Structures are given as C-alpha cells and as structure tokens.
C-alpha cells in the first residue's frame, strides 16, 4: 500500500514537472488590440518609434488643434537654436486677436512672455496665442506655416499638409494622419522633453495687462487624461465639427514612453477612453531590451597610418521593443570588426558593428566607430617609425 502511494506521488510530481516544462515552451499569448470607438488610431513606443498597433493610421484626416503639436515643435526648435527666448515679449496683432474657437482672449497690442504663450497653447489650446507666436517667429502666420510643412516633409510625414498654425481651418487642404501625428509627437517629446513642463499643467493663472487694466485669466487643460490616467504626460487635444474629437496622448510608465493618437472619435469622452484602453494595451504587450553598450571594445589595427592602432567606441545604446512575448534574455550580441582598416580614418567613421540576434534572427545593430582620427602616413612618418623601432631594438641589445 505504501509503495502504491509513493508511486502515485512520484507520477503526480512527474506530471507537474512536464506541465511546467510545456508551459515554458509555449509562446506567451499576445492579445489583440482593444475595440475602440475612433475610426483611426496608432500606438507607438517613443524611443524606438516602433508601432505597437494601428488602425487606418495612414488615412488623411482633419486634425483640428492637434495641429499645434507641429507649432510647438517649431517653437522649441527655435528656442534651442537661441533665436528666441522664453522671456521674449510677444505682442498680439489684430489678426491673432481675431481667432475664434479655443482662445485665451488676448487683446490687440497686449504683450506676454513667450513662455506664457507656450502655456496658453499647451494647456488651453489658445488659437490666438498660437498665431501670435507664429507671427513673432516668422513674421506672418503664412511664413510660419511654410516652416511647418517643411518640417513635416523632413520627418517623412507623407500624408500631411498644413494651412494654418492652430487647426481652426475647415480647409480640405489642411490634413494629417494618425501615423503622422505620432511621428511629430515623437519628435517633440524625444527632442524637447521640457515640453512636459507645460503639457502636465492642469490649471494655472495668467495676467492680461492691457490699456483697460489688469485681469486674471485661468488656463484650464483641455487634456482630461491628466486626471483620468495616472501615467499621462500630455500631449494635445483637438476638436472641430469636421475633425470630430482627436487626441495625441503621451504617457510614461516605469520609464517607457508611449504615444497613442486618436482621430475622429465620436465624442469628447470617447477619445480619452480610447486612449486609456490603447495605452493599457500597449503597456501590457511590450517588453524593452536595452544595451547601454558600455563594455570595452578591442583596439583596431590600422594599416598605412601615422598610428598603428585606434580605439573604438559604440555609436550609442541599442534598444529593442518586443511585442510577441519572447524571452529577451535569449538576445545574443556579436561584435563584427575587420582584421585591419586602411588609413586615413576620421573620428566617427564606422569601422564595424555590434549585431543583435533573437532566436537566430537579426533584430538590429549598432555601429562601432573610430574614437579618433588617424592620418595616412607619409614618407617622413615611415622614416620615424623605422627610427623608433631601431631605438627600441638598440635599447634591448644594450640591456643584455
């Protein structure tokens, strides 16, 4: 009887081990993207630009005020260049004051700091503030729009054309796509993360100072996601009768930034619910592998140079975003370098690469660069090398 119990227990233990082994061998199930009300959307990981899921993301649609993402991108580019500054005083024109739709009620001739107007754009979606800044940077809204379209083209936004800087127009020639919105959103938040200082504001007071006196105006964020989603960081809402309800939502959870773009949602609440569902889905299926590439690299031999060797460095870190449930511990890294390189070599020249593979498949690479320049050796350089070798050998004989 005791032998029978022991045999049964052993069989049960073996069965459990087999089940666990088979479970480990099976791929992790990746669920389909959730059903949402918006006819077009995309979810993108910001650091890699990899698309996690999308629907009708390349169709041209009216963007309404998410147009201002490009407006803010142009502003922050000019700030970085030093051509404009946050404390610059910007004067409101009659044209800027005349803007309808969402506005912060700037008066003609009223001056505000550029930083205040950025808050008016990012928080309250002020059309008047957008035009005032556009005119300050480019001289006119039309010239500023040219900068917007040039930037869109340089970013590869193939389904985008802007007619104004705020999205108020109903022109059929003012359009973009969910994917293009994600592209410009990614450019803005990765190149200029300081934008979050403004897009995270829920409420803030500003002062109107005009000939009629001073009054306080409260900026209130149009992005209700800031209160409804704990990981929300921005970015921009938009709505018109033509565009319906749009949103470019950015979020940061455990250091991973996602962008969810919603276009054409049927109502105000749906665009936020859709964004939450898509962001939650994105975070549930993604897994990031990062190699900071801080390991030491071998010294590279150089032929025909004033120096015989050159140190190497990585071009940067490597990131891989997995959405298929793979075990990222299985990623393998291989350093690929030639036996020797020919001079001249310029600092930053790619001389090899670090190749990454998962389950035998190449998933990406990082270039390996020369850490400094090595000039091609001339006649005198060769004579110096011969002389140095002679001195070394002479010293060696003398020590014997």
pTM, full prediction: 0.83
Between strands 203-210 and 111-113, the pairing is unpaired
For residue 210, the model assigns a pLDDT of 84
> Which of the following is catalytic: 62, 68, 102, 221?
68
Whether pLDDT at 301 is above 50: yes
Residue 161: give its domain's CATH number: 3.40.710.10
- Judgement on whether residues 202 and 331 belong to the same structural domain of the protein: no
The reply to whether 77 falls in a domain is: yes
The reply to whether 26 falls in a domain is: no
DSSP conformation class of 374: B
Confidence of residue 379 (pLDDT cuts 50, 70, 90): low
The reply to whether 131 falls in a domain is: yes
For residue 387, the model assigns a pLDDT of 52
* Domain extent for 359: 300-379
**Does residue 289 contact residue 331 with C-beta atoms inside 8 Å?**
yes
Among candidate residues 285, 318, 351, the one where a domain is terminated: 285
- Judgement on whether residues 273 and 320 belong to the same structural domain of the protein: no
- Judgement on whether residues 118 and 238 belong to the same structural domain of the protein: yes
Residues 99 and 135: their CA atoms lie apart, in Å, by: 13
Whether pLDDT at 256 is above 60: yes
- Judgement on whether residues 233 and 308 belong to the same structural domain of the protein: no
Among candidate residues 285, 310, 335, the one where a domain is terminated: 285
pLDDT by residue (tens digit) across 175-207?
999 999 999 999 999 999 999 999 999 999 999
Residues 145 and 174: their CA atoms lie apart, in Å, by: 11
Whether pLDDT at 97 is above 80: yes
> Which of the following is catalytic: 62, 65, 177, 185?
65
Which residue did the predictor score with more confidence, 176 or 210?
Answer: 176
Domain count, the chain: 2
- Judgement on whether residues 266 and 307 belong to the same structural domain of the protein: no
- Judgement on whether residues 228 and 360 belong to the same structural domain of the protein: no
Residues 223 and 239: their CA atoms lie apart, in Å, by: 12
Which residue did the predictor score with more confidence, 398 or 293?
Answer: 293
* Residue 149, CA distances (Å) to 175, 320, 322 in order: 11, 31, 33
Residue 322: give its domain's CATH number: 2.60.410.10
Whether pLDDT at 342 is above 80: yes
> Which of the following is catalytic: 125, 130, 177, 221?
125
The reply to whether 319 falls in a domain is: yes
- Judgement on whether residues 272 and 304 belong to the same structural domain of the protein: no
Whether pLDDT at 108 is above 70: yes
Catalogue the long-range contacts made by 330-338 (C-beta closer than 8 Å, 24 or more residues apart): 330/358, 330/359, 331/289, 331/356, 331/357, 331/358, 331/363, 332/356, 332/357, 332/358, 333/291, 335/297, 335/298, 335/368, 337/298, 337/300, 337/312, 337/368, 338/300
The reply to whether 22 falls in a domain is: no
Whether pLDDT at 7 is above 80: no
pLDDT by residue (tens digit) across 222-245?
999 999 999 999 999 999 999 999
- Judgement on whether residues 147 and 237 belong to the same structural domain of the protein: yes
The reply to whether 20 falls in a domain is: no
For residue 395, the model assigns a pLDDT of 58
Among candidate residues 285, 313, 334, the one where a domain is terminated: 285
373 in active site: no
393 in active site: no
- Judgement on whether residues 102 and 179 belong to the same structural domain of the protein: yes
215 in active site: no
- Judgement on whether residues 142 and 249 belong to the same structural domain of the protein: yes
């Amino acid at each position: 009887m005791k032998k029978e119990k022991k045999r049964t227990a052993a069989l049960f233990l073996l069965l459990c081990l087999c089940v666990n082994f088979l479970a480990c061998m099976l791929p992790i199930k990746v669920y389909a993207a959730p059903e949402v009300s918006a006819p077009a959307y995309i979810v993108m990981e910001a650091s890699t630009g990899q698309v996690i899921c999308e629907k009708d993301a390349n169709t041209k649609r009216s963007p309404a005020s998410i147009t201002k993402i490009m407006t803010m991108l142009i502003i922050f580019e000019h700030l970085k260049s030093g051509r404009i500054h946050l404390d610059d005083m910007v004067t409101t024109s009659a044209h800027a004051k005349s803007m309808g739709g969402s506005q912060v009620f700037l008066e003609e001739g009223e001056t505000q700091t550029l930083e205040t107007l950025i808050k008016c754009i990012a928080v309250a979606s002020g059309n008047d503030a957008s035009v005032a800044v556009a005119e300050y940077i480019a001289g006119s809204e039309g010239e500023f729009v040219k900068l917007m379209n040039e930037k869109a083209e340089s970013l590869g936004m193939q389904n985008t054309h802007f007619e104004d800087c705020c999205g108020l127009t109903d022109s059929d020639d003012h359009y973009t796509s969910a994917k293009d919105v994600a592209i410009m959103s990614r450019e803005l938040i990765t190149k200029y993360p300081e934008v979050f200082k403004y897009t995270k504001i829920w409420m803030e007071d500003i002062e109107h100072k005009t000939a009629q006196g001073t009054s306080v105006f409260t900026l209130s964020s149009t992005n209700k996601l800031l209160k409804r989603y704990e990981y929300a960081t921005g970015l921009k809402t938009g709505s018109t009768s033509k565009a319906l309800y749009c949103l470019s939502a950015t979020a940061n959870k455990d250091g991973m930034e996602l962008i969810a773009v919603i276009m054409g949602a049927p109502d105000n609440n749906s665009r936020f619910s859709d964004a939450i569902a898509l962001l939650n889905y994105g975070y549930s299926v993604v897994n990031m592998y990062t190699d900071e590439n801080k390991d030491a690299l071998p010294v590279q031999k150089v032929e025909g140079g004033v120096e015989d060797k050159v140190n190497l460095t990585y071009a940067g870190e490597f990131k891989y975003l997995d959405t298929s449930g793979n075990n990222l511990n299985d990623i393998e890294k291989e350093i690929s370098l030639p036996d020797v390189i020919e001079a001249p070599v310029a600092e930053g020249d790619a001389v090899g690469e670090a190749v990454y593979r998962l389950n035998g498949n190449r998933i990406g690479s990082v270039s390996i660069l020369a850490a400094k320049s090595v000039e091609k050796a001339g006649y005198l350089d060769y004579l110096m090398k011969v002389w140095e070798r002679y001195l070394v050998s002479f010293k060696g004989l003398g020590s014997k």
